[in-house]
Amino acid sequence: MISELLIISVGAILINNFVLVQFLGICPFLGVSKKVETASGMGFAVVFVMLCASALTWVVQQYLLIPFNLEYMQTIAFILVIAVLVQFVEMFLQKSIPSLYNSLGVYLPLITTNCAVLGVALQNISKFGGTEMSFLKSVVYGGSAGLGFTLSIVLFAGVRERLETADVPEFLKGMPIVLITAALLSIAFLGFSGLSFN
């Protein structure tokens, strides 16, 4: 059981990393990765939202949508759950960590439309890997997906901080070099696809 959860976790963090392998949630990945500090703040906000979203959407799916044959309402229902969670996180941050709230700026409400969060909710219920996901597995998968997001955005922010002082050719300055860096990081993560658990 535990080894199974561990495999799900490692799989979500490294092998199927949401940003660098599945290319979900690119917007905050590029937008909030200028400083390691704000990047990690964003990362942990996403971990929290993904964790709660996985748990809540699983409950909504199993006890509301499936019994009433309403699976076609998934997207709307899940977005509703995610939006509420994000609002909640926003209020909490504004009250308790205003500096982080200010530095995240517009990207915080944008977690609502962060496709990585909706992606994790949808993948949870789509019989991931051929097996039905239990509640525990869904939560572990959601949390790990968030951790994977945090890992990649913090790594990327570290690289971007170095880039600030690097001698970049004029035509690559700004976004172009950022995109190239993201691509190289993505290629590096491709190496994990060879990981085997047998």
Partner 1 sequence: MSQILIPILIVGGMGILFGGILGVASKIFAVKVDERVPQILEILPGANCGNCGFAGCSAYANALCAGGVKTNLCPACSGDTSEKIAEILGVKADESEKMVARVRCSGSTENAALKYIYDGPCDCHSAAKLGGGEKLCSFACLGFGSCVKACRFDAISVNDGVAVIDEEKCVGCGGCVKECPKNVIALMPAKSKYAVACQSAEKGKFTRQNCQVGCIGCGICAKNCPKDAITVENNIAVINQEKCVGCGICASKCPRKIIKLYK
Please give the residue ranges that form the binding site for partner 1 (CB under 8 A).
60, 64-65, 68, 70, 73, 76-77, 80-81, 84, 87-88, 91-92, 94-95, 98
Q: Toward partner 1, which CB reaches closer, 14 or 89? A: 89
Q: Toward partner 1, which CB reaches closer, 86 or 147? A: 86
Min dist. Cβ of residue 166 to partner 1 (A): 26
Chain Cα centroid distance, residue 166? 29
Q: Toward partner 1, which CB reaches closer, 88 or 197? A: 88
Q: Toward partner 1, which CB reaches closer, 94 or 193? A: 94
User: In one letter, which amino acid is 153?
Assistant: I
Min dist. Cβ of residue 65 to partner 1 (A): 8
Min dist. Cβ of residue 69 to partner 1 (A): 9
Min dist. Cβ of residue 178 to partner 1 (A): 22
Neighbours of 143 (CB within 10 A): 22
Half-sphere exposure of 74 (CA within 13 A, CB side): 17
Q: Toward partner 1, which CB reaches closer, 2 or 76? A: 76
Min dist. Cβ of residue 59 to partner 1 (A): 11
